Structures are given as C-alpha cells and as structure tokens.
Amino acid sequence: MTRFAAPIAEQIWNMKYRLKDGNGAALDASVEDTWRRIARALAAVEAEPEVWEDRFYEALEDFRFLPAGRITAGAGTGRKVTLFNCFVMGTVPDDMGGIFDNLREAALTMQQGGGIGYDFSTIRPKGAVVKGVSADASGPLSFMDVWDAMCRTIMSAGSRRGAMMATMRCDHPDIEAFIAAKSDPARLRMFNLSVLVTDAFMAAVKADGSWDLVFDGKVYHTVQARDLWNRIMQATYEYAEPGVIFIDRINAANNLNYIEKISATNPCGEQPLPPYGACLLGSINLARLVRDPFGKDAGIDDAELARLVALAVRMMDNVVDASGFPLPAQAAEAQAKRRIGLGVTGLADALLMCGLRYGSDAAAQRTGDWLHAIARAAYLASVDLAREKGAFPLFDRDAFLASGTMQAMDEDVRAAVAEHGIRNALLTSIAPTGTISLYAGNVSSGIEPVFAYSYTRKVLQPDGSRTEEEVVDYAVQMWRERMGDAPLPDHFVNAQTLPPQDHVRMQAAAQKWVDSSISKTINCPADISFEAFKDVYMQAWDLGCKGCTTYRPNDVTGSVLSVSEKSDRAPGEAPDQVRGDFPAEGGEVVYMSEPLDRPTELEGATYKLKWPDSNHAIYVTVNDIVLNGRRRPFEVFINSKNMEHYAWTVALTRMISAVFRRGGDVSFVVEELKAVFDPRGGAWMGGKYIPSILAAIGGVLEQHMVQIGFLEGEGMGLKADPQAQVVGLENGRRGPACPACGSYDMRMIEGCMTCGSCGHSKCA
C-alpha cells in the first residue's frame, strides 16, 4: 500500500524530492527509500549511527516530521548543495568594491540553492556626495536593481530561481523610494521588500510626531511619521509590498542579543538573521498527530509530541555538521551558534479535526498550547544535547537567560539551561511549507488556514492529453473517510471567508512561543477599506507580532485563485460557507487568444549580431504575419556557427516563437530579454552598454518591432506579460499563471506566491 495520502503527494515527491541519477532514472525506489536516505545521512555524524538512523527514520515515517525541502532533496545525495534554506548575507559596505564583493557572494549562495536577505540601509542615499570622484551617489535602489538582474541569471539548485529579501530602515533618506519601488510591476521582481520599523517610529506614528530621515548622522529630510506610515500602508494596500518588520522587537527578544544585531531576514521573513547567518528549517506535521479526529476525545498526545520534537531537534542539529555551505563565513556563523528553526505545518487541519474554528479564541488558545508544548520540548531536548555534546560555542549563561525570549520561558526550562547550557541558540520558527505540505498529503500549510477544501487539477499526461484530478485537503479527506457524505460542520472555514483580524489573532498566539519569527500571509478582501486595512497592521503591532505581511487582490499583483460557490447549497447552509464537495476552477493552460495558424509564406528580415569577443556572429530572423491590416511578429529563428550557443539558441527560438504565435501584445518579451544581466560582464555596442547577449537579441527584436510599426518606439513595450489581466474566471478574476505548470492556481501563502497545483514557489 502506498504511504501517500493523495496522488498529488506522490507527484510532488517524484518531481522534487526523489533521488534520481543524471539520466533521470530513479535511485529512490519508494518514499521509504527517501526517508532512509535522509535518516542515514543525518545519523552519520553520531557516535552510534545505526541506532540513530532507525530512530530518525521513525520520526520521518508517515510524514510526521518534515525536514525542509533542501534537506529532503539533498541529504545523502553526495551533491554539492547546501541543506540550509536561508541566509542573510554580510553587511553591505558603502563603497563600490565592497558592494560588488557582496554581489559575488550572493551569486555563489544562490547557486547552491539558498534564499538570501540583505539590509540595504547601509548604502548612502541617492544624491549624497561621493568623495574623491566628483559624483553623486546613485543610492541603494540602483544597486538593488543590479542584484535583481543577477538573480534572474542564477538558477538555484532544484530548478528554482533564487529568492531574495531586501530591507531598509524606516529612517533611511531613500525610504520613500524604497516603499514605492514595487509600483512598477517589472522592477525588483526577484525581491521581497520589507521596511524595518522601529519602536521609536511606531511611537511617533501614534503620537502624530515628526520623523527624521538620517544617514551617517546627517538629517536629510524631516517628515511626519504618520504620513510615512500611510505611505507604507498605501503601497502594500495597492501592490502587496513592502511588508513590515518590527525590528526592535526582534532584537529585544533575540536569545543572542548580547552578541549580534539583526537588520535583515530571509526571503519569507520567518528567520531574522545576523550577517552571514544561516538557518535550516523543519516542521512537525500536527495533522498526522491528532488522535480520534472529529471525535469527542480529539487531541494531540503530549508525550508523543515531545518525543517527536526531541528527535527532530537532534536531526536538525546534525544538519549543521552534515551540510556544506556556500561561504566559509556562513559555516563559521552556523557552527558558532547552531541555530535551527523547528516549526509546524497542518495546524489548521489539526484544529478542524479537534472541532475548532480557525481564528476563534478557542483555536488561538489551543494553538498557543501546542506551540508552548513544542517550545518546551525543543529547549529541553537541546539542553540534553548540550549535556551530551556541549553547548553552542558562544553560549553565555547569564546573558542568554536575560534575553527577552528566555525571560518568558518556563522556570524548569530556565533552570535546566542554567545548569547544563543549551546546544542551539535559537530553536523555533514557522516557515513556508507549501510544497512539503502537498508532499505530506495536502495538509494545510504552516499556520495558515485551509485555502480551498478541494479543487480540480489538470494533469499533463505523456501523450499530451490532460486528465482531471481532484485535490482534497487532508482534513476534508479524513472527514469523508469517517463521515461519508455528511456535510462539513460549521467550524470548517477557509482563507476566503476569514476576516483579517482572525489571521492576526492566530499569528500572535503562535508568536508568543516562537523564538525566531513566523511566515504568514494575512488575506484581505479586495474591497477592504484603507482604514480597516491599516488597522490590521496596528493590531499586529499591539498584539506583539514581530512583523506583518498582507495580501489584497489588486491590479498589480493579480488576484489569487478564487473559490466560487455552487448554486445547489444544502438547505440551511450559509451563503458564505465553503463546502468540501466541490472543486475550485483552475489548472488548465489558457491562451489569451487561440494560437495563430501559420500561413504557407511569411515576410521577414534577418539581422546580423556580432557580440564582442565572440568568434562567430549570431543571426536573428524575424518573420511576420499580417492581421487586420497590421503587421506583427510571428516567429523567430536564431542561428550561430558557435556550437557553444547551440542549445540556448534553439531553446530561445522555440520559446519566443511559441509566445509570438499565441497572439496579443507580446512586446513584454523584448523587455524580459533586455533585462537579462550576465555576471561575466556585458559589452558596449552602438554607444550603449548591453548587459548580455540575450539583452542584445532583445534589442534586435525591439528594433524589428519598431520598424514594422508594432511598437511606437524604443522602450515602449509592455514590461510584464498581460495575460493574467485579460483571462478571467466566470465567478472571479484569475490570478497569474504558474511558470512551472501553467495552471492558474497561484496563491499568496506565507508571504510567497505559490502554485497549489504543482507546488512551485519562488521561495520554497
């Protein structure tokens, strides 16, 4: 019998986590082989590896403990990938050489699959004097553009593009430009943005006081704090960024505030980290631990939970020793502090099985109880490890116990730490779990509510046909197995029906017992008023959250998958109740218009492109079609005698031609190509700097489009694919298409757009 609770779970395992050789042949014959591979790799650093391998396997079995994707895919493979999920890079110095040294380090880290975070507050503002060169500074946003271009070119391990977080202090002189950066949907697309909000700023906001924008001791501007706060709120209201990080609160609570200062986080915000800080992630699957689900005695066994947490902590501590690191500084930082991030997933499903409505006071209380139990078990397990293997090297008993988090910890835990030390400086974090939640049987993700209880997924078959497959939430599947066709109880709610205040209440309940932070998205309805929207952030501040990320469907980011109702509601069923027996739309590739048929003959032009330092020219042929009296590009052929170019020129030919043939305004292809940055350097051509060969090809296509009248002039093409704005659902707007599988099932989950059909995510 298969261990997978749903077909999508097996598909995710096969696509993302199953070990295969270079030819694609499976080396993990079953998911049990995958668990064994991970258990053996993490037990290898133990004095008795055979004993711990079996115990680690037991923790992994039936998806009870879920190491993050980097560990699941990479442990025991012998491949040069890091098992750490997230990094914050070194402090960016305010000089050109140091800035580009940091750019190189970022590229090396993303090359091995790590998401990175940066604080750009250390770069002088735009217009500031640069001594010695008679020039004015271009400002931090200009360098963020360079990082963004670099990230586009780096394909991270596991066929995933690198994800980045950029932060900036609320008192930096360029903060207003930073806040507005994402108003251009084509700019900084590889970044998540967050403002570092201080306690002093929040006090000024509440008092309606003035606020100085300062760099290097110089006041550049003075603004009203409330006006600046409203700018942040307006930006995230309109295009979902920037997020807000309460940075002073993070530093005050940090167990290591005596030796480090935090000013940045990883891409999804759950890991505030110091320079070169790294963290590995893993989740306890609460949905698999509920006994007597939907029964009168439904609950989680405390002893079983504590035992599983202890094994998970030991496994994650071993990852510190088993993993490689992109940079020596990252390895040194990890070894000195042994930071881990143990969290949960399946929380919403577990609450449903226990008869609790997500967002209610009772659910918040139960969430706090579970997270408290996990924190206790994790800290006590780490104390036991310290007795056996030693405390983390930078442990200082008195300073550690004086930190904000430890002051709130149970007295018996504090006493144990005081007597024996602790192996890991920080232990808990709630990370995005979109893909591993699908792999575990489509359990609810992290501490998020259930997004949709079921939806239809279109699965591409080897012969090119597509079959329909229902994807059902784990708790709903459990309900069906036990209750048959009985309607779902009233406490079954989902992300579409929850008020934002319920989201904040749940985040705050969890945050009390999480020593790092939480990746969570607070879904807001499109018609929420601006004043009500601002109140969500103020509630997050007042309830003690360390940050806040919202998502409101809008014209810039598109709308998430909407779940429409059936007209055949059961008698007495509330109109806003989401039933578990109907699927949401989604999953099929939809064209803006029907693909254009190719005539027998086409007119076109061929352009010769000579790239400096290349032995052979590249020839770009563009053929056009005439529609409604207007000439438009239809296909492209790119050729070169240089065989080093063969694979990518063929791929580019096919992909661009496929886009051109679907119709619509395809000028965004030009802007995409022109933005490609080659880290090896570009070239000067025709008096302009061209950042890569691909950018040069984009320029040729643009030149052709201008000549045939398709574009009015240079730089006047679309900066983003418009298809998400012109293709709609019958009962709601359709979100952007998934770049991996083409389905219209992209959702904002835990601060990152994630595909519910295939699990693709920029951040996970």
Is residue 307 very low, low, confident or very high in pLDDT (cuts 50, 70, 90)? very high
* pLDDT score of 436: 92
Token reading at 311: 């094994």
* pLDDT score of 581: 31
* pLDDT score of 745: 65
Three-state secondary structure call for residue 374:
helix
* pLDDT score of 732: 40
Select, from the ranges 89-93, 570-574, 588-592, 649-653, the one with the highest average predicted confidence (pLDDT): 89-93
Taking residue 340's Cβ as centre, other Cβ atoms within 10 Å add up to 27
CA distances from 354 to 292, 451, 472, 479 (A): 9, 18, 19, 12
* pLDDT score of 1: 53
Q: What is the pTM of this model?
A: 0.77
Cα gap 203→711, rounded to integer Å: 51
Cα gap 655→637, rounded to integer Å: 11
Q: Which of 105, 270, 585, 671 is catalytic?
A: 270
* pLDDT over 60 at 122, yes or no: yes
Cα gap 391→382, rounded to integer Å: 9
Among residues of the chain, what percentage have pLDDT more than 70? 85
CB 318 within 8 A of CB 75: no
Q: Which residues on adjacent β-strands are paired with residue 257? A: none
| Higher per-residue confidence, 672 vs 755 | 672
Q: Which residues on adjacent β-strands are paired with residue 193? A: 166
Q: Which of 86, 151, 170, 268 is catalytic?
A: 268
The residue assigned the tokens 């574009």 is 711
Average pLDDT on 399-428 reads 96
CB 493 within 8 A of CB 197: no
The residue assigned the tokens 């400002």 is 139
Q: Is the dihedral of CA 147, 153, 154, 159 positive or negative?
A: positive
Taking residue 47's Cβ as centre, other Cβ atoms within 10 Å add up to 8
Average pLDDT on 264-282 reads 92
CA dihedral (475, 478, 482, 485) in degrees, to 10, reads: 70
Average pLDDT on 272-284 reads 94
The residue assigned the tokens 């490609």 is 676
* pLDDT over 60 at 461, yes or no: no
* pLDDT over 80 at 725, yes or no: no
* pLDDT over 70 at 738, yes or no: no
Q: Is 270 a catalytic residue?
A: yes
| Higher per-residue confidence, 581 vs 142 | 142
Is residue 160 very low, low, confident or very high in pLDDT (cuts 50, 70, 90)? very low
Q: Is 151 a catalytic residue?
A: no
Burial category of 69 from C-beta neighbours within 10 Å (exposed 0-12, middle 13-18, buried 19 and up): buried
Categorise residue 219: left if φ over 0, alpha if ψ from -120 to 50, beta otherwise: beta
| Higher per-residue confidence, 576 vs 707 | 707
Of 427, 296, 288, 302, residue with least CA distance to 369: 302
Lowest mean pLDDT segment, chosen from 43-57, 387-401, 518-532 = 518-532
Lowest mean pLDDT segment, chosen from 219-233, 488-502, 669-683 = 669-683
CA 733 to chain CA mean position, Å: 23
Burial category of 216 from C-beta neighbours within 10 Å (exposed 0-12, middle 13-18, buried 19 and up): exposed
In one-letter notation, the amino acid at residue 60 is: L
Q: Is 268 a catalytic residue?
A: yes
Cα gap 178→168, rounded to integer Å: 8
Whether cis (ω within 30° of 0) applies to the bond prior to 242 is yes
Cα gap 441→183, rounded to integer Å: 37
DSSP H/E element including 475? helix 474-483
pLDDT tens column, 625-649: 887 677 889 899 998 887 777 788 8
CB 722 within 8 A of CB 736: no
Cα gap 761→12, rounded to integer Å: 13
* pLDDT score of 214: 97
* pLDDT over 90 at 658, yes or no: no
The residue assigned the tokens 């205040």 is 501
* Interior angle at CA 353, CA 348 and CA 356, nearest 5: 65
CB 759 within 8 A of CB 11: no
Q: Which of 102, 255, 257, 266 is catalytic?
A: 266
End-to-end CA distance of the chain: 29
* pLDDT score of 572: 30
Is residue 553 very low, low, confident or very high in pLDDT (cuts 50, 70, 90)? confident
* Interior angle at CA 32, CA 29 and CA 37, nearest 5: 85
| Higher per-residue confidence, 630 vs 96 | 96
* pLDDT over 60 at 159, yes or no: no
Lowest mean pLDDT segment, chosen from 90-94, 290-294, 558-562, 604-608 = 558-562
* pLDDT over 60 at 460, yes or no: no
CB 118 within 8 A of CB 99: no
| Higher per-residue confidence, 21 vs 234 | 234
Q: Most distant CA pair in the chain: distance in Å?
A: 84
* pLDDT over 60 at 354, yes or no: yes
Cα gap 604→622, rounded to integer Å: 5
